[in-house]
């Protein structure tokens, strides 16, 4: 079985070699580069399965800009941001840039390996269509151009604008855990305070509309400690 390929973009030579050695010793095929120019050159040769991307990089493009460039060109590649900052703003910005996960430095090598394996599993299961127009959500269909949710009979299911926006975000990010903070900021353009349950309430209402058994959701699943994840139906 072919080893998953990982591109590590890290300007600190010591950290790059240490992470590269540990991941290689744990059955990952790793190539390390030190900046965005080298990253682009390597990707022009072959797209890896996963990119580990340091936020603070030398040159004109930081990790967030490079993540956006990566995601615009490929919806399947896994992206994990690496940053010495533990600020929640950095985490939100990383997710908004298209990253799948975020690891704060200094990190334990075992934690980095676990995150890599988790994102690689999800990347294999990504199934974003080339033209995102009609997305199956359980027994329902989300019609993006017409902003409608249709049942099995093709009848319109009542949705608020906010509920549609959440379903659209899920449709664009299948099999990817999405944080509550990021969901709220993306769909409501405001920050979430620790006691803000707006997203949880909207998810509860959506589950009542699209889940066969809302108490045991299979379409919009809870990811403990993070938020929620849309799981497309098996073909």
Per-residue model confidence as pLDDT tens digits over 102-157: 888 888 999 999 999 988 887 665 544 444 578 899 999 999 888 899 999 989 99
Would the CATH topology of 5-125 be identical to that of 134-230?
A: no
Residue 169: pLDDT above 70?
yes
pLDDT over 70 for what percent of the chain? 85
Cβ atoms within 10 Å of 148's Cβ, excluding its own: 16
Residue 178: pLDDT above 60?
yes
What's the CATH number of domain 134-230, 3.30.2350.10, 1.10.10.10, 3.40.640.10, 3.30.499.10?
A: 1.10.10.10
- Alpha-carbon distances, residue 5 vs 20, 23, 42, 86 (angstroms): 12, 10, 12, 27
The pTM score is 0.53
Average pLDDT rounded to a whole number, residues 158-186:
84
Q: What's the pLDDT at 230?
A: 92
Domain 5-125: give its CATH architecture.
3-Layer(aba) Sandwich (3.40)
Q: What's the pLDDT at 124?
A: 60
Q: Which tokens sit at 80? A: 């994990």
Between CA 122 and CA 126, with CA 124 as vertex, the angle to 5 degrees is: 70
Q: What's the pLDDT at 227?
A: 87
- How far apart are the C-alpha atoms of 180 and 185, rounded to whole Å? 9
Q: What's the pLDDT at 194?
A: 46
Beta-carbon-side half-sphere exposure of residue 13 (alpha carbons within 13 Å): 0
Listed by start position, the domains of the chain span: 5-125, 134-230
Q: Which residue spans within the chain are E strands per DSSP?
A: 5-9, 29-33, 50-54, 78-83, 101-104, 134-137, 140-143, 148-150, 156-157, 178-179, 220-223, 227-230
Average pLDDT rounded to a whole number, residues 90-108:
76
Phi first, then psi: give them for residue 125, nearest 5 degrees: -90, 0
Q: Which of 102, 118, 101, 88 is nearest to 184 (CA)?
A: 88
- How far apart are the C-alpha atoms of 219 and 139, rounded to whole Å? 9
Q: Which tokens sit at 99? A: 């990253």
């Amino acid at each position: 079985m072919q080893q998953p390929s990982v591109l590590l973009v890290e300007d600190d030579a010591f950290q790059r070699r240490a992470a590269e050695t540990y991941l290689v010793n744990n059955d990952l095929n790793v190539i390390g580069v030190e900046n965005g120019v080298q990253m682009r050159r390597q990707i022009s040769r072959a797209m890896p399965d996963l990119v580990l991307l340091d936020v603070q990089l030398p040159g004109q493009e930081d990790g967030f800009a490079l993540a956006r460039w990566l995601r615009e060109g490929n919806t399947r590649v896994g992206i994990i941001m690496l940053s010495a900052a533990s600020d929640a703003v950095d985490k939100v910005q990383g997710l908004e840039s298209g990253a799948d996960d975020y690891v704060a430095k200094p990190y334990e090598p075992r934690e980095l390996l676990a995150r890599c394996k988790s994102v690689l599993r999800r990347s294999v299961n990504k199934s974003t269509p080339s033209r995102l127009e009609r997305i199956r959500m359980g027994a329902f269909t989300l019609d993006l151009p017409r902003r409608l949710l249709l049942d099995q009979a093709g009848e319109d299911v009542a949705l608020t604008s906010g509920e549609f926006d959440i379903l659209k975000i899920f449709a664009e990010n299948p099999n990817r855990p999405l944080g509550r903070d990021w969901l709220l900021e993306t769909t409501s353009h405001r920050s979430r305070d620790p006691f803000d349950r707006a997203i949880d309430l909207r998810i509860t209402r959506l589950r009542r509309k699209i889940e066969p058994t809302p108490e045991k959701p299979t379409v919009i699943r809870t990811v403990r400690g993070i938020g929620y994840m849309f799981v497309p139906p098996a073909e």
